[in-house]
Amino acid sequence: MNFDEYRNRYQPLYAEFAGIVRDILEKAINGAEGVSRPQSIQCRAKEASHLKPKLEARGLLDSSSIEDEIKDLAGARLIFYTNTDVERFLNSRVIPENFEVHGDQTRIHHPTEENANHRYQAIHYTVSLNGARTTLVEYAKFKGLRCEVQIQTILIHAWAETSHDITYHRSESQEFGQKAISSIEARLNKIMDEYLLPAGYEFQKVQHDFQRLMQGKELFDRGMIEAQDACTDNNERHEILRSLHEYVLPNYDDIAAIYPEL
């Protein structure tokens, strides 16, 4: 498939395929235990107007097999609230259980010397529909198509979209605005380093503390004496007491009222 064929014929097919990937992800997440619902699941086919400069930059505009060169002609994006939500999703194995994963094209993006310490952080899977699905009539036309599935937090998403818009519309002139654009990019990096990354960790800590609080409340509602009696060893007993001390008792407005049970 060359660029003109994609633009004139195949872009709608890739858009439909991206929608199918999104629907499969949504249903799988709804049925997965312990996986938080994402803030949103987006999908799209790459716009021909965006694809052309990418092909030109790589010297691929005349290629007759751009589907082998460009892995994100179809794309889906899972945007979670916190790093913990991302970790739970990855541990759930939703993606490998529902798609064929192209491991050699899967990337973990984080700042390294090789990518000039670019601040973007996300996991990008490249997937296809597995054989069980492509044997079905309704999915047969998508056999062999690939989709890039991006997994990131909402804070990283906001930064990436802002950064992309600035980079995409930046001037190529060597005589105008280069110092200004360098300053803007430095400010973007500062926003990531000083605000968004710390905020992401703080959100994660808050979420963790709330979950521990709920666990402690469930324990107290069950009855502390019964829970202690049910312990199999002192390590478990110590954990129960610690949870009560750190996550339950400080949240009672009238401690004296629960003295008898304590």
- Segments making up each domain of the chain, as ranges: 3-169, 177-253
3-169 has which CATH code? 3.30.460.10
Q: What are the tokens at 72?
A: 């994100």
pLDDT of residue 145: 96
Rounded to a whole number of angstroms, the CA Rg of the chain reads: 25
What's CA 190's distance to the chain center, in Å?
22
Read off the pLDDT of residues 152-207 as tens digits, 9 standing for 90 and up. 999 988 988 888 777 665 655 567 777 887 888 888 888 888 888 888 888 888 88
Among 75, 97, 96, 94, which residue's Cα sits nearest to residue 86? Answer: 94
- Prediction pTM value: 0.77
pLDDT at 250: 75
Inform me whether the pLDDT recorded for 94 exceeds 90. Answer: yes
CA 54/CA 19 separation, integer angstroms: 23
* Chain centre distance of CA 35: 12
